Amino acid sequence: MATETHDAMYQSIGGAEGIEKVVDVFYEKLWADPELQPYFAGIDRDRLKHHQRQFLTFALGGGTLAYEGRALGDSHANLKITDDAFTKVQWYLRTTLEELDIERPLIMIINGFVEGGRGQVVTA
């Protein structure tokens, strides 16, 4: 059950519609970056965006979109993601949130969730 604080965070980003917009803009940036493109070769992009929406929904404690995918480490294990690539993706997310006028404290919370996954995602 979501707490009032979490629900407020979810609502402040615009709920499901806000998260969908964040994810769409975020992935446009990632897929346009030549250095990151190899990580997305052969990936079902719609499914990937769906999982990202689930992650953000979970991180912000809102909605009914429960995560259905594999564990974070398992889903990234074979991609050989470098620390630099992770940092770049994290930067794109922060930039996207800033461009969409998401409140700074909320950006910091989301960034904290992302940073918390670095050890499971970076494998190269």
Give the tens place of pLDDT for each residue, 64-83. 655 666 666 667 777 788 99
- 26 pLDDT above the threshold of 90: yes
> How confident is the model over 83-103, as a mean pLDDT?
96
Q: Which residue, 43, 77, 97, is CA-closest to 114? A: 97
Please tell me the predicted confidence (pLDDT) of residue 6.
Answer: 56
Name the residue with higher pLDDT: 89 or 68: 89
Distance between CA atoms of 69 and 25, rounded to whole angstroms? 22
Please tell me the predicted confidence (pLDDT) of residue 74.
Answer: 66
Tell me the average pLDDT of the chain: 87
Please tell me the predicted confidence (pLDDT) of residue 31.
Answer: 96
Q: How confident is the model at residue 2 (pLDDT cuts 50, 70, 90)?
A: very low
Distance between CA atoms of 43 and 74, rounded to whole angstroms? 15
- 22 pLDDT above the threshold of 80: yes
Which CATH number is associated with domain 4-121?
A: 1.10.490.10
Count the Cβ atoms, other than its own, within 10 Å of residue 26. Answer: 22
